[in-house]
Amino acid sequence: MKDYKLNVKDDNNLKISEAFYSVQGEGISTGVPAYFIRLQGCNLICGGKDGCLRDEGKATWYCDSETVWRQGENYTNEELVDKMAKDVGLESILNGETHLIWTGGEPLLPHHQKSISSFLEHMKREYGIKNIYNEIETNGTIPFTPQFGEDKPFRNSLYFQTDQINCSPKLYNSGMEKDKRINQEAIEMIRDHPNSWFKFVVSDERDIKEMEYDFIYPYEIDKSQIILMPGVDNLDELSERTRFVYDMTKKYGYRSCTRGQVLAWDRVTGV
């Protein structure tokens, strides 16, 4: 691929680490055909660089996509459309059968928000009003921002272009400091979206209590919006960790999910 120069002022430019056709392996959309667009960069580094915080006992898991989202190549809107057409075909994306999933890294970094919004507007101009289904996967630390000259984030912004928000707030087990991983404005904005979910990575029962006292109770997040997921990144431990999460589901009544992509492909990314 050409080495295009990135200009974050140019909305018709996406910094993409990888883009591929697969199946959603986590959360409420588990099992749905999905086209993943992983954007470069993140404002957190859960588990530390290369898992160093986990190795030091300061975290119980680390970001399994870190080595991927640290890299990236520049795509114009047209180039991403061409890639999607080759990988899966546009019809299943235009009719909503295959979900578009913007992930990272952190797709709500401000320049990513502008680029995603520009891409969706491009699709609307080129193909008319279709049923494209957009999922945003975010760590919940960055609010949706105004777009197109508006002074509020709820008009003509990515917030209303997004059909589903999958928010994965970080707990103490991520190794991140509390003031870096909790943003009241972002959490409340996501909570109030008509289709939003909060997916918490849990490693032991203390994580459930932390989840409740740091997020659910203070921000009044409805219990029906909560999903528990095991803190595991490898197939060897997936079964035991999933049983633990299911036990927590039975005890506390929260919805839970396993990690389907780990079950299918272990630690391989981009599949």
Residue 98 burial class via C-beta count within 10 angstroms: exposed 0-12, middle 13-18, buried 19 and up:
buried
pLDDT digits (tens, 9 = 90+) for 163-222: 999 999 999 888 889 999 999 999 999 999 999 999 999 999 999 999 999 999 999 999
Identify the band that residue 8 occupies on the pLDDT scale cut at 50, 70 and 90: very low
pLDDT digits (tens, 9 = 90+) for 16-34: 999 999 999 999 999 999 9
The answer to whether the beta carbons of residues 192 and 222 sit under 8 Å apart is no
Q: Is a pLDDT exceeding 50 seen at residue 7?
A: no
175 DSSP assignment: T
Cα separation, 23 vs 16, whole angstroms: 19
Cα separation, 210 vs 217, whole angstroms: 10
pLDDT digits (tens, 9 = 90+) for 224-248: 999 999 988 899 999 999 999 999 9
Q: Mention every residue, 6+ apart, whose C-beta is less than 8 A from residue 76.
A: 4, 12, 13, 14
pLDDT digits (tens, 9 = 90+) for 86-122: 999 999 999 999 999 999 999 999 999 999 999 999 9
Better-predicted residue by pLDDT, 17 or 146: 17
Nearest to 93 by CA among 16, 39, 163, 154: 163
- Continuous segment of H or E residues that includes residue 259: none
Q: What is the pLDDT of residue 55?
A: 77
Cα separation, 229 vs 181, whole angstroms: 18
Identify the band that residue 156 occupies on the pLDDT scale cut at 50, 70 and 90: low
**Over the range 218-248, which residues count as b (16 or more CB within 10 Å of their CB) and which as e?**
eeebeeebbbbbbbbbeeeebeebbebbeeb
Nearest to 183 by CA among 229, 222, 214: 214
Q: What is the pTM of this model?
A: 0.90
Q: Is a pLDDT exceeding 60 seen at residue 151?
A: no
Average pLDDT over residues 53-75: 83
Q: What is the pLDDT of residue 2?
A: 31
Inter-helix orientation angle 77-87/110-127, to 10°:
70
- Continuous segment of H or E residues that includes residue 111: helix 110-127
Average pLDDT over residues 32-45: 95
Q: Is a pLDDT exceeding 80 seen at residue 270?
A: no
Cα separation, 238 vs 106, whole angstroms: 25
The answer to whether the beta carbons of residues 37 and 101 sit under 8 Å apart is yes
Q: Is a pLDDT exceeding 80 seen at residue 65?
A: yes
Nearest to 17 by CA among 34, 35, 1, 40: 40
Q: Is a pLDDT exceeding 60 seen at residue 10?
A: no
Identify the band that residue 4 occupies on the pLDDT scale cut at 50, 70 and 90: very low
Identify the band that residue 152 occupies on the pLDDT scale cut at 50, 70 and 90: low
Domains of the chain are 14-225 (3.20.20.70)
**Pairing status of strand 164-167 against strand 134-138:** parallel
* Number of other residues whose CB lies within 10 A of the CB of residue 111: 18
Average pLDDT over residues 79-87: 97
Q: Is a pLDDT exceeding 60 seen at residue 68?
A: yes
Place of tokens 């928010």: 167
